[in-house]
Structure 1
Amino acid sequence: MTPLVGVLYIVAFSLFIYGLMGLTGPRTAVRGNAIAAVGMVIAVVATLLIPGMGNWPLIVLGVVLGALVGVPAARKVKMTAMPQMVALFNGVGGGAVALIAWVEFRTTGGYLVEPVYVAVASLFAALIGSISFWGSLIAFGKLQEILPGRPVTLRGLQQPLNIVLLLGAVGCAAAVLSDVRTEILMIVLLLAAAALGVMVVLPIGGADMPVVISLLNAFTGLSAAAMGLALGNTALIVAGMIVGASGSILTNLMAKAMNRSIPAIVAGGFGGAKAVIATAKESRPVRSTSSADTAIQLAYASKVVVVPGYGMAVAQAQHAVREMAQLLEAKGISVSYAIHPVAGRMPGHMNVLLAEADVPYEQLKEMDEINSEFPQTDVALVIGANDVTNPAARSDPGSPIYGMPILDVTASRSVIVLKRSMSSGFAGIDNELFYDPKTSMLFGDAKASVREIVEELKAL
């Protein structure tokens, strides 16, 4: 590495870290993302300046093909499809690392003259990268509803099979390290890791998907850092460690927000998008309301808390919600937004949607902050949120979500739920909130319902 390359890498690392700091808030997120992107461009240029870099036509072809696929996909993706795009793009990174590890094995004759740490780092990168790639593809399929959102398991055989696949992959790596340099071992390692990635994510239901995306993101970062160590590439080490560390921290925070351990999440079996509601509970009375009555109730409130969920994202209702909030604020009504850490299908999903609609950051309040305000709230307007508002998490020890921290909307004076139907959320269980005497249900598409409320507010 030449002195120029070293200096450029230091500049790139500084921009990575500074850009990451900007991602801590919606106001600075766009700028932070742009700064980090500039850092990555500098890192790529610096890498290409390393003497003897290699086949330039092939490098240019790869860059062009990547840009032709990535740029249009990122520009055209809808906000509702952002979680699956994040899962897919993250998986591509892990897959690239696995392929690089395979190429490194072939070009070095099975690490024939390489130090032991290079072989260990490369094999680790191949294992984790392959798990991340194939696991991310399954996560993408579930989010895109190509695959069932419910847990898909082999019941009692699930965990033994996962252990066999893991031991098989580790055994192949150990054989390579013990001087068995047959390429078939590397291929079996990659295939066993691929099967393990598939089998680990398939049993995980939709309710746990935000945590899974974050965990796989951390895996990709760790595999990239390990590959950087094997290749002696400082940029790859630093970037990978940043992604791995931030993803690990976020995974832990998300798991705590659901009051579930990461091993329990990986074990799977929780939550599915197509669950059936128990018929016994369907017979319980539910109060319905209209857009006109909702508008009157909101107009005479002093404090309104909007609780967004994935239903708002599906309906693309965030701009209509922002217009409704502005009308209420013009009447002197306080409006804020209750954000649960796992609302939606990826970390920060609701924050991104509301920021897109220019909702002031000060009005977005995390669960711990907003829960103390619900007793002073006149109307809690729940738009497409389900499991994160379910009182069963506190009152029913037999519920799968028992112990999960929730938004305490039942403490408010009145609750209005905007929803298409009485269907369950990702956890696949009935929501006790719908049957609460304080709750009124406004059935229909969230965007259409909010627009009707807006028109009624204008007429008052």
Structure 2
Amino acid sequence: MSTTFIQCLYIVAFALFIYGLMGLTGPRTAVRGNMIAAAGMAVAVIATLLTPGLGNWWLILLGVAIGTVIGVPAARRVKMTAMPQMVALFNGVGGGAIALIAWVEFRSSSGFFDEPAYVAVASLFAAIIGSLSFWGSTVAFGKLQEILSSRPVTVGRLQQPLNLLVLLLAVACGVSIVVGARSEWLMVGLLVTSSVLGLLVVLPIGGADMPVVISLLNAATGLSAAAMGLALANTALIVAGMIVGASGSILTNLMAKAMNRSIPAIVAGGFGGGAVAGAVDAGDRSVRQTSAGDAAIQMAFARQVIIVPGYGLAVAQAQHQVRQLSSLLEDKGVSVYYAIHPVAGRMPGHMNVLLAEADVPYDRLKEMELINGEFARTDVTLVIGANDVTNPAARTDPTSPIYGMPILDVDESKSIIVLKRSMRPGFAGVDNELYYNPRTSMLFGDAKSSVSEITEELKAL
């Protein structure tokens, strides 16, 4: 097959990647964008399969069949609450695949014998980052799935020196290979130490930082794929990897800023443990409870209502009921908006995806910077399971672990209604001062049932 024709196919694939990525800027075009990008990947795969000298067709077909059998049902059946775990797991699989490819290249070239130095360096870089991403993503999956504790798991002051030691061991194995050592045990040692490093880096990071960690590991996987593409002279891997690496890096930076946390501080770990079961000791403070009927009356006579979705909305799968509630309020002449915090939920864009599934108009979704000025003019704010991103302690309590984190200024609303199952704190394990605000009323119960009850009461008014 002509090399020129194959390169032309790659160019078509890259154009589809970029055009598809542009479609992800809004929910109305996101599905189409995903399909366009998927078509681009199909073209890239075809171009790769047309490369002269490619063999082992049965193994290739077997791999495609296994991936299809596992991937399609997993993606179709996953619940919205488990979407972050799936993203972490699929991302980790990509990193693991890159690490295995690097190992295969080491073996097939007899330790990179007679290969240019850049091939060895790029392959070993890909192996280190790919292994780290695979095992780090596995830990992230375990924490999000609650197989592992979301609390930081650390060895204290020895954590960072231990991380540095393991990193140096991995680099030492890589340097030995580059300068001419061809023992396969060195490559195995590199993969093992990189894997241990992935575990050591992510285990000390608490659950509250998992959205940033997922984005960071996604960027790392992209960079490892680009490096492996450089070593293999595979244009598709280089371009696709750089797109993933660049977009993931930008997103990671934005997420860190949204939490007022630096990326080095997040990697250092130790923040955002899981909450203990049961109610939080509130001392002499008490909360004011309300009913669905009272909540309905407040919202029916409001001029403006802001809905603040959080992970509790995803757990209850209440997005369709919330959409019905907002439609009913709008029919009564009430202006309804949704306040979206960048790190609400457990992955970037979690709430946007959830609400788009219920056909919530995109112009009703307002980012934190745009909506914060509206809370003081809002009659009722309905908070659905959003804990840490509404906690006034981030502004007022210098001793709080979340102090300095930009939050939604819900406490400035004239009236606040919070839907929660219990007084259990959020994923950061920090008690929410908002619940004890004199203007706050708590409606305890499953969010889906509570919203449905409020809707029925509204219909009766």
TM-score by length of 1: 0.99
Q: CA deviation at 1:279?
A: 6.0
* Residue equivalent to 1:414: 415
* Residue equivalent to 2:438: 437
* Residue equivalent to 1:48: 49
- Runs (4 or more) in structure 1 with deviation over 3 Å come to 275-280
Amino acid at match of 1:77: V
* Residue equivalent to 2:204: 203
* Residue equivalent to 1:306: 307
Q: CA deviation at 1:316?
A: 0.4
Q: CA deviation at 1:281?
A: 2.2
Q: CA deviation at 1:273?
A: 2.4
Correspondence 1:9-158 to 2 at 5 A: 9-158=10-159
Percentage of pairs with the same residue: 74
* Residue equivalent to 2:318: 317
Contact 2:279–2:422 (CA<8 Å) still a contact in 1? no
* Residue equivalent to 1:178: 179
Secondary structure at the aligned position of 1:413 is classed as coil
Q: CA deviation at 1:5?
A: 0.5
Contact 1:420–1:446 (CA<8 Å) still a contact in 2? yes
Secondary structure at the aligned position of 2:343 is classed as coil
Runs of 5+ consecutive residues of structure 1 not aligned to the other structure:
none
CA distance in structure 2 between the aligned counterparts of 1:211 and 1:132, rounded to whole angstroms: 14
Deviations 1:402-441 (A, max 9, x none): 0000000011111110000111111111100000011000
Q: CA deviation at 1:374?
A: 0.7
* Residue equivalent to 1:292: 293
Q: CA deviation at 1:150?
A: 1.1
Contact 2:280–2:424 (CA<8 Å) still a contact in 1? no
Q: CA deviation at 1:140?
A: 0.3
Amino acid at match of 2:92: G
Q: CA deviation at 1:283?
A: 3.5
CA distance in structure 2 between the aligned counterparts of 1:110 and 1:75, rounded to whole angstroms: 41
Is 128-137 or 267-276 further displaced after alignment? Answer: 267-276
Q: CA deviation at 1:275?
A: 4.0
Amino acid at match of 2:141: F
CA distance in structure 2 between the aligned counterparts of 1:308 and 1:221, rounded to whole angstroms: 31
TM-score by length of 2: 0.99
Correspondence 1:371-382 to 2 at 5 A: 371-382=372-383
Q: CA deviation at 1:180?
A: 1.1
Secondary structure at the aligned position of 2:282 is classed as helix
Contact 1:276–1:424 (CA<8 Å) still a contact in 2? no
Secondary structure at the aligned position of 2:453 is classed as helix
* Residue equivalent to 1:265: 266
CA distance in structure 2 between the aligned counterparts of 1:279 and 1:4, rounded to whole angstroms: 65
Secondary structure at the aligned position of 1:454 is classed as helix
How large is the RMSD of aligned CA atoms in angstroms?
Answer: 1.0
Amino acid at match of 2:86: M
Secondary structure at the aligned position of 1:336 is classed as strand
CA distance in structure 1 between the aligned counterparts of 2:140 and 2:392, rounded to whole angstroms: 28
Deviations 1:224-269 (A, max 9, x none): 0000000000010000000000000000000000000000000111
Contact 2:280–2:431 (CA<8 Å) still a contact in 1? no
Say if 2:451 is the partner of 1:450: yes
Amino acid at match of 2:48: T
* Residue equivalent to 2:328: 327
Contact 1:312–1:318 (CA<8 Å) still a contact in 2? yes
* Residue equivalent to 1:356: 357
Contact 2:279–2:424 (CA<8 Å) still a contact in 1? no
CA distance in structure 2 between the aligned counterparts of 1:175 and 1:294, rounded to whole angstroms: 68
Secondary structure at the aligned position of 1:242 is classed as helix
Aligned residues: 460
CA distance in structure 2 between the aligned counterparts of 1:168 and 1:102, rounded to whole angstroms: 17
Amino acid at match of 2:303: S
Contact 2:280–2:425 (CA<8 Å) still a contact in 1? no
Deviations 1:49-80 (A, max 9, x none): 00111110110000011000000100111111
Deviations 1:5-53 (A, max 9, x none): 1110000000000000000111111000000000000000000000111
Amino acid at match of 2:313: M
Amino acid at match of 1:8: L
Q: CA deviation at 1:276?
A: 6.8
CA distance in structure 2 between the aligned counterparts of 1:85 and 1:279, rounded to whole angstroms: 31
Distance 1:18 1:279, change over 3 A: closer
Amino acid at match of 2:341: H
CA distance in structure 2 between the aligned counterparts of 1:38 and 1:250, rounded to whole angstroms: 24
Amino acid at match of 2:432: N
Q: CA deviation at 1:280?
A: 5.1
Secondary structure at the aligned position of 1:91 is classed as helix
CA distance in structure 2 between the aligned counterparts of 1:93 and 1:384, rounded to whole angstroms: 32
Deviations 1:365-407 (A, max 9, x none): 0000000111110001000000000000000001110000000
CA distance in structure 2 between the aligned counterparts of 1:392 and 1:138, rounded to whole angstroms: 30
CA distance in structure 2 between the aligned counterparts of 1:380 and 1:194, rounded to whole angstroms: 46
CA distance in structure 1 between the aligned counterparts of 2:197 and 2:344, rounded to whole angstroms: 28
Secondary structure at the aligned position of 2:36 is classed as helix
Amino acid at match of 2:177: V
Q: CA deviation at 1:274?
A: 2.3
